[in-house]
């Protein structure tokens, strides 16, 4: 029986990470900043494109975070976080939260979310205030599941910041909705 190249390498240690990153980079994602505060500590946060809605009943969301993240330990100790869904004009803010070691909150306007007190970033399209439900191992990442405590949309008309093929993107112009159509 002859195997294809994909069959020979999937699940194999020989799968090239650059090839994997390139193929998975064809999946367009939104961009978020996950934030938290611990009592007596400065706020922490990181840029995240792996955020997803997980469940409506109960209301759960999920994201993946690198095991090497310097922000994650503070978020995990806090036991709560806020997901800030970024707008198309927030590329610079995203880059700030993606750089290790930088003072990410310097000159950033934010206020405490209503339930957990985690930082809500000014200008975000929407925010989701959560408590940590559970954390799973996921290879070189951890998979965090959060229970939604509160959320809101800041601007119904603003466009999201997108990430595709290792570049920030903006959505295509809106088209009229077809009656009854849902994704």
Band the pLDDT of 70: cuts 50, 70, 90.
Answer: very high
Contact 41, 74 (CB under 8 A): yes
Beta bridge partners of 150: 129
For the chain, how far is it from start to end, CA to CA, in angstroms?
40
What is residue 7's predicted lDDT score, i.e. its pLDDT? 46
Overall average pLDDT of the 131-156 stretch: 96
How does strand 162-164 pair with strand 167-169? antiparallel
Overall average pLDDT of the 158-167 stretch: 78
Band the pLDDT of 124: cuts 50, 70, 90.
Answer: very high
Band the pLDDT of 141: cuts 50, 70, 90.
Answer: very high
Q: Using CA atoms, how far apart are residues 160 and 126, in angstroms rounded to an integer? A: 10
Q: What percent of the chain has pLDDT over 90?
A: 66
Q: What is the mean pLDDT of the chain?
A: 87
Q: Does residue 3 carry a pLDDT above 60? A: no
Band the pLDDT of 162: cuts 50, 70, 90.
Answer: confident
Domain boundaries, the chain: 29-163
Contact 55, 62 (CB under 8 A): no
Band the pLDDT of 102: cuts 50, 70, 90.
Answer: confident
Looking at CATH, the fold of the domain delimited by 29-163 is given as Pnp Oxidase; Chain A (2.30.110)
What is residue 175's predicted lDDT score, i.e. its pLDDT? 76
Q: SS3 sequence, 88-118? A: CCCHHHHHHHHCCCCCCCCCCCEEECCCCCC
Contact 141, 95 (CB under 8 A): no
Contact 36, 80 (CB under 8 A): yes
Instruction: From residue 35, give the alpha-carbon distance in Å to each of 59, 68, 78, 173.
Output: 19, 16, 10, 30
Question: Which of 42-56, 62-76, 118-132, 163-177 has the weakest average pLDDT?
Answer: 163-177
What is the model's pTM? Answer: 0.83
Bigger pLDDT: 50 or 175? Answer: 50
Nearest Cα to Cα of residue 120 among 158, 155, 85, 72? 85
What is residue 8's predicted lDDT score, i.e. its pLDDT? 46
Q: Does residue 163 carry a pLDDT above 80? A: no
Query: What residues contact residue 95 under an 8 Å CB cut-off, 6+ apart?
Result: 47
């Amino acid at each position: 029986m002859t195997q294809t190249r994909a069959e020979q390498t999937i699940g194999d240690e020989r799968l090239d990470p650059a090839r994997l990153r390139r193929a998975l980079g064809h999946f367009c994602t939104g961009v978020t900043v996950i934030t938290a505060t611990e009592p007596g500590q400065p706020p922490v946060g990181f840029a995240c494109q792996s955020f997803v809605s997980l469940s409506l009943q109960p209301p759960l969301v999920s994201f993946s975070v690198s095991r090497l993240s310097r922000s994650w330990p503070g978020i995990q100790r806090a036991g709560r976080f806020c997901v800030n869904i970024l707008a198309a004009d927030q590329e610079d803010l995203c880059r700030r939260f993606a750089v290790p070691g930088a003072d990410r909150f310097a000159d950033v306007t934010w206020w405490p979310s209503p339930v957990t007190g985690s930082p809500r970033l000014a200008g975000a399209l929407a925010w989701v205030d959560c408590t940590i439900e559970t954390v799973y191992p996921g290879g070189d990442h951890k998979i965090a599941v959060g229970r939604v405590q509160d959320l809101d949309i800041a601007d119904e008309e603003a466009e999201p910041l997108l990430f595709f093929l290792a570049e920030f993107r903006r959505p295509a112009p809106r088209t009229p909705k077809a009656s009854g159509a849902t994704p």
